[in-house]
Structure 1
Amino acid sequence: MSASDSRARLLDIIRKRSFGRGEITLASGRKSDFYFNLKPTMLDAEGAALLAELTLDALQGENIDYVGGLEMGAVPLAGAIAQLSFMRGKPIQAFFVRKKPKEHGARLSVEGLAPGETLAGKRIVIVEDVTTTGGSAIKAAEAVRDAGGNIVMVFTMVDRQEGATEGFQEAKLPFRSLYTASEFLKN
């Protein structure tokens, strides 16, 4: 399938499985008349494969060491991207940042690293399923920077176009998206 066919197919999957109309309160506290719940797409076999494929294609040439982001949305994304990168012969490792460290065990904020493995000096892309203001990704980026990682960019599957671009500019984080809300709101 060509890149444009893959993109069109994934847009169709997201529209059918993860996009809806109706009043909803977003994580940011804002009200909206449309929503994206990307979990049904991320956990769909074809949807997961296409998300990983299109993300890796978009990141080509960036020399990424790791992908990760704040739980929960980043977990299935990072796993699918890591798996496909290995299958393509250019492995990118994955991790996620807890919203708050566990209160038992190692009490880690960054999860998924092997003993002795570190993000220090590594080139990292923060991935996110849906971005509204960017607050969750900025929180993940802060944890990664605290761990010594170099944030190359924040990459989201869907930008709701409600302030994230400005928030990331202010945080000095490059930002790109696979889709924008306007692509789903056209019809």
Structure 2
Amino acid sequence: MSAPQPRAHVADIRSRLHDIIRRRSFGRGEITLASGRKSDFYFNLKPTMLDAEGAALLAELTLDALAGENIDYVGGLEMGAVPLAGAIAQLSFMRGKPIQAFFVRKKPKEHGARLSVEGLAPGESLSGKRVVIVEDVTTTGGSAIKAADAVRESGAEIVMVLTMVDREEGATETFQDAGLAFRSLYKAGEFLKS
């Protein structure tokens, strides 16, 4: 068994992940966003989130961004938050500081337990827990606000909203108005200028 490799410098990880996002998840061309707005560029982070290296690097940068925050759970609105939350939970466990994961359904299932918040074991609750809402790409912040509302209804304390890519189209103001701290790993401008 070989010795574990030292962790790469955060700037190196950030640069490598930028390259992966640019190659796998960024494009030009007219598109209608989830917010209903039109744009001439887009991010589809699923090819990055579901890529082995991309998932690992997203989780690594996210955990580095959350260092010192004493987080109990991480999750957000389906579908974008699901692979993120899973990768973050797995890496947090491997680092010896587990953060549990969950996701919020866009609308509760009409059968079974009819839950909005999924991934919790029977008897497990977000009540009193410190939670970070994660999102793959944020435009206006509306999707993350839906997740935050469901999580607040569960009694959790929302520490912040953390997005992988902020399109810089109003989310900062949306979260400020909602009283939520907001951070991003990348800004859209970092991809538009290169």
Specify if TM > 0.5.
yes
Q: Does the residue aligned with 2:110 lie in a helix, a strand or coil?
A: coil
State which of 166, 172, 180 in structure 2 corresponds to 1:159: 166
Alignment of 1:1-187 (within 5 A): 1-187=8-194
Which position in structure 1 is the counterpart of 2:4? Answer: none
Q: When the two structures are superposed, what TM-score results if normalisation uses the length of structure 1?
A: 1.00
Counterpart residue identity of residue 59, structure 1: L
Q: 1:110-140 deviations in whole A, cap 9, x for unaligned?
A: 0000000000000000000000000000000
Q: CA deviation at 1:2?
A: 1.0
- Work out the CA distance in 2 between the residues paired with 1:114 and 1:134: 28
- Work out the CA distance in 1 between the residues paired with 2:113 and 2:188: 39
- Work out the CA distance in 2 between the residues paired with 1:123 and 1:168: 17
Runs of 4+, deviation exceeding 2 Å: none
Q: Does the residue aligned with 2:186 lie in a helix, a strand or coil?
A: strand
- Work out the CA distance in 2 between the residues paired with 1:184 and 1:94: 29
Q: CA deviation at 1:44?
A: 0.1
Which position in structure 1 is the counterpart of 2:3? Answer: none
Which position in structure 1 is the counterpart of 2:5? Answer: none
Q: Does the residue aligned with 1:133 lie in a helix, a strand or coil?
A: coil
- Work out the CA distance in 1 between the residues paired with 2:106 and 2:180: 20
Q: CA deviation at 1:88?
A: 0.1
Root mean square deviation of aligned Cα: 0.3
- Work out the CA distance in 2 between the residues paired with 1:28 and 1:128: 14
- Work out the CA distance in 2 between the residues paired with 1:95 and 1:15: 28
- Work out the CA distance in 1 between the residues paired with 2:192 and 2:62: 22
- Work out the CA distance in 2 between the residues paired with 1:28 and 1:73: 14
- Work out the CA distance in 1 between the residues paired with 2:158 and 2:85: 15
Q: 1:5-31 deviations in whole A, cap 9, x for unaligned?
A: 000000000000000000000000000
The number of residues matched between the two structures is 187
Q: CA deviation at 1:95?
A: 0.1
- Work out the CA distance in 2 between the residues paired with 1:93 and 1:146: 18
